[in-house]
């Protein structure tokens, strides 16, 4: 089954590919790279990624499902202990993992979801046979494995934000994208490690606060999906020479 999943072919449309490449094409154009130079760079990049892979990509399905499942596990009283923390769950039972999966990810197989969560170290199996939530947010990398769909969502989110900024295509219907960074080019390797630990700790608190806001303001599913937006905030670390 896992081998079949890795061989799954994902098709994107020409328009989707153009959307992903638009910010890069804009950058090439701004530094006056010719069409032939731009195509040569793209060809070289494709040749590079088709070489020996450092990480193994695997398909896990829609990643928002896993985020919804973890959010329910951390908030729904049926799945919390007396202190209000996510409690270890049995696989079956009225308030077990299967019930949680059905409520958060209708139509997805609970065992398949659990397998992915365990593989990416979001959940661990305890000695008594129950399953414990390890991370309050879905982690999509573990060892040599990287989940494909979260990467696809990340690329789409980044390029959509950049494209809107580059085209100045703000509309009255949607909120405006923004871009904020903090950085310094005078940090030692030792302090960079300290910053990484500090940023992970502080960003987790920040993201939990934002997640609480999103969950408390989430609307009930409506008849027209076009009336609802996928809204959020993504953070990533910066390390470069």
Residue whose token pair is 């947010």: 137
Give all domains of the chain, ordered by start, each with its CATH number: 1-54+160-172 (no CATH), 63-139 (1.10.10), 187-217+230-241 (no CATH)
- pLDDT on residue 1: 34
Q: What is the dihedral of CA 15, 17, 22, 24, to 10 degrees?
A: -170
Residues 6+ apart with CB under 8 A from 71: 104, 211, 215
Contact 114, 69 (CB under 8 A): no
Min mean pLDDT across 61-65, 80-84, 214-218 is at 214-218
Predicted TM-score (pTM) of this structure: 0.74
Min mean pLDDT across 81-85, 100-104, 154-158, 171-175 is at 171-175
DSSP secondary structure code for residue 13 in this structure? -
- pLDDT on residue 90: 96
- pLDDT on residue 76: 92
- pLDDT on residue 222: 56
Distance CA 37, CA 25 (A): 11
Mean pLDDT over the full length of the chain: 85
Contact 145, 56 (CB under 8 A): yes
Reported as a pLDDT band with limits 50, 70 and 90, residue 5 is very low
Reported as a pLDDT band with limits 50, 70 and 90, residue 184 is very high
């Amino acid at each position: 089954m896992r081998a079949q999943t890795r061989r799954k072919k994902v098709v994107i449309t020409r328009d989707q590919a153009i959307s992903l490449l638009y910010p890069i094409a804009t950058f090439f154009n701004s530094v006056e790279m010719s069409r032939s130079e731009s195509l040569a760079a793209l060809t070289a990049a494709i040749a590079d990624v088709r070489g020996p892979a450092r990480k193994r990509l695997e398909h896990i399905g829609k990643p928002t499902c896993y985020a919804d499942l973890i959010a329910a596990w951390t908030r729904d009283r049926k799945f919390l202990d007396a202190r209000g923390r996510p409690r270890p769950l049995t696989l079956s039972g009225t308030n077990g993992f299967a019930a949680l999966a059905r409520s958060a990810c209708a139509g997805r197989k609970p065992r398949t979801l659990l397998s992915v969560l365990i593989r990416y170290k979001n959940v661990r199996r305890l000695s008594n046979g129950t399953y414990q939530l390890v991370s309050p947010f879905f982690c999509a990398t573990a060892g040599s494995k990287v989940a494909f769909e979260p990467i696809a969502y990340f690329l789409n989110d980044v390029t959509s934000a950049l494209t809107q900024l580059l085209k100045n295509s703000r509309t009255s219907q949607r909120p405006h994208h923004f871009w904020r960074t903090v950085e310094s080019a005078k940090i030692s390797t030792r302090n960079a490690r300290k910053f990484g630990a500090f940023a992970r700790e502080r960003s987790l608190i920040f993201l939990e606060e934002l997640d609480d806001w999103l969950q408390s303001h989430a609307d009930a599913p409506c008849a027209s999906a076009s009336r609802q937006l996928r809204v959020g905030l993504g953070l990533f670390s910066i390390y470069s020479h």
